[in-house]
Structure 1
Amino acid sequence: MLGQAVRRFATSAVRSSHYAEGPGKNLPFSVENRWHLLAKMVLFLGSGFAFPFLVVRHHLLKK
């Protein structure tokens, strides 16, 4: 009984959602401009990659 109510609610919630469909529409950033996306990804991923090297450099230069 409870399972049927949950299933009914889940299917009605999916049907009542009014979100755009398609590739890239459910992302929190735009994928329309590929150069803007490239710059964002380079900054995000590059900062994560460079962080350990910067920390080691800082500790080596510290006296």
Structure 2
Amino acid sequence: FLNVSVQRVTNTVLRKSQYKDNPGNNLPFSVDNKWRLLAMMCAFFGSGFAAPFFIVRHQLLKK
């Protein structure tokens, strides 16, 4: 009985999903240009990594 219920739910979810054939369609950014993607990811993650260092530098330089 449990197996049939799981199979029904799985079939329903798969039927209602809007998955398109090519990967990356469900992402909020484009993955077509790998160099632009690399630059955007470096800027995004780099800004989060560098922010504490700039904040500490700003606090140390304040008079």
Structure 1 unmatched ranges of 5 or more:
none
Give every structure 1 segment of 4 or more consecutive aligned residues whose post-TM-superposition deviation is greater than 3 Å. 7-10
Deviation at 1:34, TM superposition (A): 1.1
Deviations 1:2-37 (A, max 9, x none): xx4xx5455324213333134323222111011211
TM-score w.r.t. length of structure 2? 0.70
Q: TM-score, normalised by structure 1?
A: 0.70
Tell me, which stretches of 5 or more residues in structure 2 are unaligned? none
Query: What is the count of residue pairs matched by the alignment?
Result: 61
CA distance in 2, matches of 1:20, 1:53: 42
Q: Percent identity?
A: 57
Q: Post-superposition shift, 1:42?
A: 1.2
Query: Are 2:45 and 1:45 aligned?
Result: yes
